[in-house]
Amino acid sequence: MPADRPADRPAAPESDLRTLIPQYGGFARQAVVLNPEPGEPDMRESSLGGGLLWPADEPWPYCAQEGHWTFGPDWRNRTEILPGAVPMMPILQLYARDVPGVEFPEGTDLLQLVWCALNHDEDPGPVVPRLHWRNEAQVVAGGLLSEIPAAGETEYDEDNIPRPSTLTPAVAEDLPRWTDLPEDLRRDLEQRLGSPGNRFVRPPDANIIATKAGGWPAWTQPADWPDCACGQRMEHLVTITGDIQLGDCGGVYFFHCRRCPGVPWDWRFDCH
């Protein structure tokens, strides 16, 4: 027994979930890992934190939520700054051609995500997002918004926005985190690998911890899937993790329900 491991602590499993649970591979889903790299993306490209292909006849969204705040760009300032209505920030743009296997609503081929990059203390999380599905050709034919409003230095928190980045999408096989396994499988494995003191070290899984579209959420905490108003669990759409600070946030996760008209969506976040 290694000298640095107490006798009552179980050793880390030598095998991963693929080996320990033959059924694990059956949960595989296709994901598109987005691989952001700092750059200067064009609005006709998929991007993280880049410009968006925004229609001229749709006003840019603002957030006027009461109490949203920031400390501003001066790290010495610990007094909350509470601006009024502020422009939302471009976060993610995905063209369907770049994310094969991700199903877009009929008639759309463009996904856009914006959010208010101030801090929000109310549930469900630190930011206020909006998600839009569009048709690229229709947006271009109708004309583009000539200027996207820029947030002033006290109208966003720099931890809440990504650096403008180009994407190099790559298709990969994704498997669930431990907490997304069926309860009977988790219980069986805990019994097999637990020590006499009921201590348990989780074996490594094959979930992709990265900003991605499709696949499984890259949860940091226990799984927290939203349900649609129709009563069905929503599908995972996008995980953003590691590319935006968001305080001690582990990740931001977006979900949608393709069964229902209008494609309802919801989101979750968790912390390290």
Q: How far is CA 174 from CA 27, 30, 218, 231, in A?
A: 8, 6, 10, 26
For the chain, the straight-line distance linking the first and the last C-alpha, in angstroms and rounded, comes to 31
Q: List the pLDDT tens digit at each of the 272 positions of the chain.
A: 444 444 444 444 556 788 888 889 999 999 999 999 999 999 999 999 999 999 999 999 999 888 898 888 887 887 888 888 999 999 999 999 999 999 999 999 999 999 999 988 875 667 889 999 999 999 999 999 989 999 998 898 888 899 999 999 999 999 999 899 999 988 888 887 765 555 667 788 999 999 999 999 999 999 999 999 999 999 999 999 987 776 667 799 999 999 999 999 999 988 86
113 part of a folded domain: yes
- The domain tally of the chain equals 1
pLDDT of residue 19: 85
Q: Which residue has the tokens 């989780």?
A: 202
111 part of a folded domain: yes
Domain that holds residue 91: 41-161
21 part of a folded domain: no
Whether the full predicted model's pTM is greater than 0.85, yes or no, is yes
pLDDT of residue 250: 78
Distance of CA 236 to the CA centre of its chain: 9
pLDDT of residue 272: 67
260 part of a folded domain: no
Distance, in Å, from the CA atom of 103 to the CA atom of 123, rounded to the nearest integer, reads 29
143 part of a folded domain: yes
Q: How far is CA 172 from CA 99, 133, 177, 264, in A?
A: 11, 24, 15, 26
146 part of a folded domain: yes
167 part of a folded domain: no
123 part of a folded domain: yes
Strand duo 128-134 + 110-116: pairing: antiparallel
